[in-house]
Amino acid sequence: MGDAKLQSNLDVIDKLAKAGDFASLSASLENIMRCYADNAEALKDIAHVLNRNDRFEEALSVARQGLRIDPNHPLLHHNAARALSITGNIALSRPHSERASRLLPDNPWLQYHFASIQLCLGEFEEGWKRYRWYYRIPGKTRELVYPPFAPWEGQPLAGTTFLLVGEQGRGDEIQLIRFVYWLHEQGAVVDVLVSEPVAPLAASVQPIRRVYTRIPPGPYTYWCHMFAMPGFMKLDLSMLPIATSYLAAPASKVDDWRRRLDTTSSGGSRSRAKRIGLVWSGSPHAALDRFRSIPLHRLRTWFAQPGVTWYSLQKGPREQESQAFEEEFDMHTLGPAIEDFTDTLAILHALDLVITVDTSVAHLAGAAGLPVWVLVPPYCEWRWMTDRTGSPWYPSMRLFRQQQPGGWTTVIDEVRHAVQAWLPASSSDARTRFS
């Protein structure tokens, strides 16, 4: 009976949060909290539902109340850590995540979460070791490829043949394929197994012997997943970036896209305009996409800037949104004509800059050594770390960070001023009219 009552209350919280009825949610939560003020297990469930509905401040408050009752409740620590890490308070989340991982040492989700926090904070040695728990998360073995060769776990590599196996997202593969350079330096002959969209890019990486999209027959001395590499190779910050400008588009495509873009910039002042590519949305299926993608209309103040021609590189369901701005601004929609990553990379070579949210395009530009500005949310994302305006992985990258989830206004203004400062001095008179 007690469990049924709690579940009913959790359903109320969930329903009100999803409906956006925050006044009623606050009143209901106050009543529910009085009922369960001394029940740590119930408070854990309440914090979980609040976290799941992006009510992070309330979730943290509830988790802390539960921890005053039971300081050793692992999932209360985890809920506190999650609320803090998603809101960008990575250092504050660390003690809670570490405690949770120690209290439940065999829980892969808690270990993986703590690994991500450690990597965000630059604790590479322990973080990459702990990251291996990712492969023990239920269901991951069905998602990943496991070739029938000996796994590499740090053995000497001189004279070996090695299969580096891509995993997770396309941006992940683009970022971590750089490890072939390190493997090559250790004396290995390296092939790669990657997703079909990334395969044409991988073909341009010099140390790679062959590129596969299905498990090759081998034999290979060793194989390794890309995300397992750092732990075994003892990667630390001083070793990065390992490789720069390691991706290249076919020269014929670069020439073709340059000609196509030249036709859009011909005549009048457009011949002197700087070309900026734009991506404002990631995959809507990504778990935290609601925090990284931006409604395009919110970037409107950028488009009024004289001296800039804008090119939308957006792909997916939102790729045609930029067409609504083409009559009013110097905007061109390229998404429908982009067939694959080599097209995108060729376009990037014809631009002066690309501004993007955290998507594969950010990795594509960074891996080609091209100037790219990335707008990142505050939540714990290991690759962007914390309190940095640049990336140790990509020297050509500049980061613009949210201070709180959904807080794009300050970031948008910061980028607008940065574009103004980046433009040639000859545009200074025009720039001041849009400050």
Question: Domain of 113: which CATH number?
Answer: 1.25.40.10
Distances (CA, A) of 308 to 270, 311, 352: 8, 10, 10
Secondary structure class of 186 (helix, strand, coil) = coil
- The three-class DSSP label of residue 368 is coil
Confidence of residue 268 (pLDDT cuts 50, 70, 90): very low
In angstroms, the CA 422 to CA 431 distance is: 11
Looking at residue 324, its pLDDT comes to 95
Which of 127 and 317 is assigned the larger pLDDT?
127
The verdict on 283 and 403 lying in the same domain is yes
Pick from 31-45, 191-205, 348-362: least confident = 31-45
Residue 282 domain-assigned? yes
Confidence band, pLDDT 50/70/90 cuts, at residue 376: very high
Tell whether 246 is covered by a domain: no
Dihedral sign (CA 236, 240, 246, 247): positive
pLDDT above 90 for 179: yes
Is pLDDT above 80 for 169?
A: yes
> For residue 359, is it within any domain?
yes
Last residue within a domain, chosen from 81, 116, 141: 141
Instruction: Judge if the upstream peptide bond of residue 219 is cis by omega within 30 degrees of 0.
Output: yes
Q: State mean pLDDT over 317-326.
A: 94
Rounded CA separation 331/277 (Å) = 10
Do both 212 and 256 map to the same domain?
Answer: no
> Looking at the 3D structure of the chain, how many domains does it have?
3
Question: Residue 24: what pLDDT?
Answer: 86
Half-sphere exposure of 206 (CA within 13 A, CB side): 8
* DSSP count for the chain of H helices, then E strands: 20, 10
245 located within any domain: no
Tell me which of 207, 239, 271 is where a domain ends.
239
Question: Are residue 80 and residue 216 in the same domain, yes or no?
Answer: no
- Of 376, 347, 345, the C-alpha closest to 359 is 376
Handedness of CA 233, 238, 239, 242 (dihedral sign): positive
> Quick one: 392 exposed, middle or buried, by C-beta within 10 A (0-12, 13-18, 19+)?
middle
* 396 and 321 in a common domain: yes
Q: Answer whether residue 192 shows pLDDT above 90.
A: yes
Residues 354 and 401 in one domain: yes
Task: Verify that 345 and 301 share a domain, yes or no.
Answer: yes
Average the pLDDT over 337-349 and give the result: 96
- Co-location of 154 and 263 in the same domain: no
State the pLDDT confidence band at 267, using cuts at 50, 70 and 90.
Answer: very low
Average pLDDT over residues 202-223: 96
Could you say which of 119, 141, 163 is where a domain stops? 141
pLDDT at 335: 95
Residue 6 belongs to a domain: yes
Question: Can you give the pLDDT at residue 16?
Answer: 87
* 235 shares a domain with 276: no
Domain that holds residue 68: 2-141
User: Of the given ranges (79-83, 127-131, 405-409), which has the lowest mean pLDDT?
Assistant: 405-409
Q: Considering only 73-77, 177-181, 428-432, which range has the smallest mean pLDDT?
A: 428-432
User: Is 56 a member of any domain?
Assistant: yes
Same domain flag for 56 and 191: no
**Span 63-83, average pLDDT:** 97
pLDDT at residue 430, rounded to an integer: 46
Least confident range from 93-102, 169-178, 332-341, 423-432: namely 423-432
Any domain includes 28: yes
pLDDT category at 271 given cuts 50, 70, 90 is low
Q: What percent of the chain has pLDDT over 90?
A: 79
Dist CA 392 CA 178 (whole Å): 13
**Which band of pLDDT confidence, cut at 50, 70 and 90, is reported for residue 435?**
very low
Mean pLDDT of the chain: 92
Please indicate, yes or no, whether residues 39 and 118 belong to a single structural domain of this protein: yes
Least confident of 125-134, 285-294, 354-363: 285-294
Report the distance separating Cα 62 and Cα 379, nearest Å.
20
Q: What percent of the chain has pLDDT above 70?
A: 95
Is pTM beyond 0.75? Reply is yes
Give the CATH number for residue 355. 3.40.50.2000
Instruction: Give the separation between CA 361 and CA 432, rounded to whole angstroms.
Output: 31
Instruction: Identify whether residues 135 and 14 lie together within a single domain.
Output: yes
Residue 175, in any domain of the structure: yes
Strand order of the β-sheet with 397-401 is 331-333, 308-312, 274-279, 353-357, 372-376, 397-401
Closest among 410, 374, 424 to 301, alpha carbons compared? 410
Between the two ends of the chain, the Cα-to-Cα distance in Å is 62
306 lies in the same domain as 338: yes
What's the per-residue H, E or C state across 405-422? CCCHHHHHHHHHHHHHHH
